Each structure stands twice: as structure tokens, then as C-alpha cells.
Structure 1
Amino acid sequence: MTLTDTAHTAGTTDATDHPGRVQGDLMQVQHPELRDRVAVVTGAGRGMGARFAAALARRGVNVVGADIDAELMERAASGLRQENGGVTGAGEVVGAGVDVRDRDAQEALAQTALDRFGRLDIWINNAGVFPEAPVEEISVAQMQTTLSVNVEGVLYGAQAAAARMRPGGAIVNMASVAAVRVRRGRAAYCSSKAAVSHLTECLAVELGDRGIRVNAIAPGFVDTEMTRWVQDDPAALAKALDNVPLHRLGSPEEIVGPMLFLLSDSARYVTGHVLAVDGGSRHV
């Protein structure tokens, strides 16, 4: 699927392609009030982070994308600049190498956005890890890494953003349906995302005093590299889709839309909310 905003019918499937996979992009959604705002997106070198950066830039937002792999991030930023060359009013995209576990690095990242563009309005805590191990085999190192990246990274990013945002700023964290549903072999991941969900609520309460909104997105099964392990196993995919009331995977663009909503003025009275985008799977 491409990063274009071409209008198609959402929610349709093509039987000749992967079963349960959505074909085409969402109907185009514009939020003109986002134009000229400045955003930081972590984990933007690939996957959903790259799509968030692309969607924002195409709507006139200046974006600082960050990834632990600096070379990957620069290639992604360069690619987005080329793609957006023909998009009227597209925002600028720059890349930075950042380990979100490093609080000082996140502070420097926020300052980079301020120095480059003169303001900071949006922060998306997208960077994360997706470890797998049975409970009895979770190592100290794996648990520490998972909590450090998935939870501490969110906190440090929010701290860095809040110190530089003006009232009206918005922070969005990446939670997961795994925060409320158990997945065998994913105890470290599930517990970290449960922490992100509650941390989002805590941040919303405390940063609300500064006029900063904090929300989270909780995706379910989405067609990304992170779910390739189940998509490549027909039996596992069929079982997974049985637990999704809409009986299909979500498309990345179906995560982008809610993200843009939470960042927009349409959601200016929404804070402390964890928005499930999971095809209803949290209820099964």
C-alpha cells in the first residue's frame, strides 16, 4: 500500500490477494488547521512511524523524524522529501538518530525541532519493541529493554515535549489492544502497553494544567511488518481474524486517520483517552 492520499472505498477486500487484507487507502481526510505546525515522530524510520510522518508532512506539518537507526531515518526522510516534492504546501521532513531510552537524547530531539522550526506543537511517541517469549523464559534483559523503550521512552518524550510546547500542544502515544487482551508469549509487551495506557491518563491529568492534550492509539491487528508472523501462517491468520468482529486486518491508513483526528482541533476537548482502532477485537 502506498503513502498516497488517493480516495478509495475503505473496508473492501480483494479475494485475489491476501485474505482479510484491506485493499486501497482511506478516503482523503484533511485537517487544514495542522498546516505550519511542527511535529516530532519517534520510530519514524519505517512502519507506522514513517506513515505518520508522511501523512503530517502532506498536510503542511514540518516533521522531525527520529529513529535509533540514523541511516535508516535519513533515507526515510529523504524519500519523503522526494515524494512530497510535487505536493503543494507539503511540510519539511528532517531526520535524526535517537535512542528513546536516553532522556538527554530526547531532550536534544525536542530542541532540534525548536531550533529548526521555531516551535513544537505535536509529539508522537511511536518507537517501540515487540518481544516474544513464554513467561518462564522472559529474561531480565528482555524485560528491562521492553519497559525502557516502550514505557520510559514515552515518558521521556512527553517530558521533553511538554517543556517546549505552548498551550494547545498535543501528544499521542502508541498503546495497543494488547494492553487489555492477553497474547501468549507476549507478557512483556502486553504489560508494557498496559503501562503506556495508564501513563497516558496520568500525563493528561498533569499536563492539562499547561493546556497540553495527551491521548493514545491502541491498534489491533494491522497490516504491518509487526504482524507478518501471523499473516504468513494461514491457520494463525484465520484464528486471529475469528477474534476480530470485522473479520479482517486493519490497514495502516486506518491508524493514520484516528491519529490525525487526535492531533487536530476537532479533538481539542479530548484528552486522557486511549482510542482503540482494532476492529472490535478488544471485546472478543
Structure 2
Amino acid sequence: MTDHSDLQGSPSCTPHYPELSGRVAVVTGAARGMGACFAAGLARQGVHVLGVDIDEATLQNTVREAHQTGLSTHHGSFEGLPCDVSSRSDIQKIAALAVQQFGRLDIWVNNAGIFPQTDVPSVDTKQITQTFQINVNGVFFGAQAAAEQMKHGGVIINMASVAAFRVRRGRAVYSATKAAVHNLTQSLAVELGGQGIRVNALAPGFIDTEMTNWVREIPGAMDKALSTIPLGRIGEPTDVLNALLFLVSDAAAYVSGQTLGVDGGSRHG
């Protein structure tokens, strides 16, 4: 029998608990849904967050609401700025501004995305182009801009989806973009690892946000959705936030190139 008593307390067995205070993050698509949850959640961990979104009015309301719920007592910050993630120049300006304002950039969350639902015969060129521009180009531009500014390493988180692995009718274009994000995450992890940059993705399943409100409006849709989730419940934005906080923290210091499912087991259900 091996005696493991000598391992107790040794450096190799001492965990790195999440400590994010003072770090600087950019979160795209921060006006609503999971993006808003990510931005406020990081700020409550002491992170200085620049939340960006093309919908500036809703974004500013989100920022105000976050501060009204006591955000300032956590010593982080949450500011909102307009940005079109499909514009490389917009993304580059945001990354540079983060460094100009806070002196560093540690975390970049590529959250912005759209969720078209159209059967294959009705999909047109405009929908394909727009969905790829936001869901894929936006991720690539964000990673490029972040890597350029992360002089001393950092973390990039991309938003994939369970749809990258488990397809449904009406989601061909969306699923294709999320499969691309899964693959892109692996490629970015390989290419940016030498700069000390970790790149991972989150693949949420059915999460209770505005994007999934339709399930409450269609008779029988909720029961059908629940039947595909082994844990038997719809996910909450905080479920995904908790996974994000792990991946951006030092607790995940040796995790890169991974797509972490946050789906209640639905990928395998």
C-alpha cells in the first residue's frame, strides 16, 4: 500500500482557490441574459468589467440595475460601452480601451450571439451571413484583439452550445456556428498557449433567459424540453456563471482547449 501522508500540504497538492479581485474583463453581449449575468457576476468577484453590446440603451439599464443591487460594495466595477462584435475595428478599440483605462486585460468573454430558428428550406443568405458574422467572426475578432493586449497571459472564454453536439430541427445555421466555436476554441488554445493565454468554451444547454422564453409559450414545449434533460430542470444563468468563474480562475490554470457542457446532462440524454 502506498503511503500518501507525505503529499498532504505539499505544493503540488495545494489547490488554487478562485481569486479574481483586481482583474480586468471584457464581456460581449452584456446587455441581457447570460452576458448580463456574467458581467455583474464577475464584478461581484472584484473584477473591473467592460460590458459591451450593440444595444446600448438596454446595456445602460443593465449597468444601472447591477449597481442598484449593491454592486459597488464588492469593489469591482461594471461599465457599459456600445460595440458591434462583427466589426473588427470596434472590438480592437474595446480591447485597447480596457488596457488604457485599467492598465491590463486578463479575461475576455465572447458571449454575444444570435439564435435564429428557421427550417432549412426557408434559410436565406442574409441569415447565414449574419449568424456567422456575429457567432463566429465575433468570437474570432474578440480572441484576436484580446490576445494582442494580453501581454502577460490571460483567459478567453467562448460561448458554444449543446447545439454544437446535439442538433434540432430549425437550428441548422445556429448549430453550425456553435460547432465552429467549439473547433475554433481548440485551435486558439493551441496557437495562443505559448503566450500564456488559456482558451476554453462553455456549452450551455437549456438556460432560462429571454432567448428561451418561447418554451413557455408553446403548449407542451416545456414538458418536451424537460424530457431531454436528465437532471430534470431548466438551467439558470447562475449555473453557467459558476462554470465561467471556475474557468477564468486560477483553479483552472491547467485547463485549456476544452468545451465544458453546462446542460444538465442533455447532451447525453
TM-score surpassing 0.5?
yes
Instruction: Pick the aligned partner of 1:133 from 111, 118, 129.
Output: 118
Residue 116 of structure 1, CA deviation: 1.1
Distance 1:191 1:39 in 2: 28
Q: In structure 2, what is the equivalent of residue 81 of structure 1?
A: 67
| 2:255 aligned residue | 270
Task: State the one-letter code of the partner of 1:183.
Answer: R
Give me the identity figure in percent. Answer: 55
How far apart, CA to CA, are the structure 2 residues paired with 1:170 and 1:244? 30
2:212 corresponds to which of 190, 204, 227: 227
What secondary structure is seen at the aligned counterpart in 1 of 2:229?
coil
The residue type equivalent to 1:53 in the other structure is A
Residue type of the alignment partner of 2:48: N
User: How many residues matched?
Assistant: 253
Deviates further, 48-57 or 235-244: 235-244
Match for residue 228 of structure 2?
243
CA shift, 1:79, in A, is: 2.4
Q: Provide the rounded CA distance (Å) in 2 between the counterparts of 1:84 and 1:39.
A: 19
Which is worse superposed, 270-279 or 162-171?
162-171
SS at match of 1:146: helix
Contact 1:41 1:52 in 2 (8 A): yes
Task: Please give the alpha-carbon distance, in whole angstroms, between the structure 2 residues aligned to 1:272 and 1:49.
Answer: 21
AA aligned opposite 2:53: D
The root-mean-square deviation of aligned C-alpha atoms, in Å, is 1.2
Residue equivalent to 1:282:
267
Please say which structure displays the higher CA radius of gyration: 2
Q: Matches of residues 1-284 of structure 1 in structure 2 within 5 Å?
A: 33-85=19-71, 87=73, 89-284=74-269
Matched position secondary structure for 1:283: coil
1:85, CA displacement in angstroms?
4.9
CA distance in 1, matches of 2:49, 2:69: 14
CA distance in 1, matches of 2:162, 2:71: 36
Which segments of 5 or more consecutive residues in structure 2 lack a partner in the other structure?
1-16
SS in 1 for 2:213: helix
Three-state SS of the structure 1 residue aligned to 2:26 is strand
Gaps of 5+ in 1: 1-30
Contact in 1 for aligned 2:51/2:80 (Cα 8 Å) = yes
Decide whether the 8 Å contact of 1:166 with 1:212 is kept in 2.
Answer: no
Amino acid at match of 1:66: V
Structure-1 separation of matches of 2:65 and 2:213: 24
Q: Is the 8 A contact 2:40 2:71 kept in 1?
A: no
Q: Secondary structure at the match of 1:172?
A: strand
